[in-house]
Amino acid sequence: MRNKYIESFEKAQTEAKNIPEFRAGDTLRVAVRIKEGAKERVQNYEGVCIALRGEGTGRTFMVRKMGANSIGVERIFPLYSESIESIEVLRRGRVRRAKLFYLRELKGKAARIKELRRK
């Protein structure tokens, strides 16, 4: 049972952000605001969403991308973070589970996810 005041505060926080609907298996491009000293820039982080967890303002999602020398790099983003400029869904993936941690063991073509066909 959650406190009604906390729920109303969270509702106001989540309505302010424009977040597309996505799930595990989708390929995302997350524009992250990075602060370096006095300067600020936006850097894109592109990869497959392998997990969504939490609820309300504490909701997070995990994105996995292949870095240099085929090393997997995973990053966890708070969904309603101020540092996230935008989230763009590039591809919809056809997967049969909510958490795709099995992708950590796969390499190359085996780690591909089929694209979801829309009718």
The residue among 76, 70, 69, 30 whose CA lies nearest residue 50 is 76
pLDDT tens track for 30-83: 999 999 999 999 999 999 999 999 987 888 999 999 888 888 899 999 998 889
Which pTM value belongs to this model? 0.84
Assess if residue 118 is contained within a domain: no
The CATH number covering residue 22 comes to: 2.30.30.790
Handedness of CA 105, 30, 116, 60 (dihedral sign): positive
Assess if residue 112 is contained within a domain: no
Assess if residue 113 is contained within a domain: no
Strand ranges across the sheet with 60-66: 72-78, 60-66, 39-53, 27-36, 84-91
**CB-side exposure of 22: number of CA atoms within 13 Å?**
29
pLDDT tens track for 105-117: 988 888 888 988 8
Assess if residue 115 is contained within a domain: no
C-alpha radius of gyration, the chain, whole number: 16
Surface-to-core class of residue 92, CB atoms within 10 Å of its CB (0-12 exposed, 13-18 middle, 19+ buried): middle
* Distance from C-alpha of 76 to C-alpha of 60, rounded to nearest angstrom: 7
Assess if residue 15 is contained within a domain: yes
Q: Identity (one letter) of the amino acid at 8?
A: S
Domain count for the chain, please give it.
Answer: 1
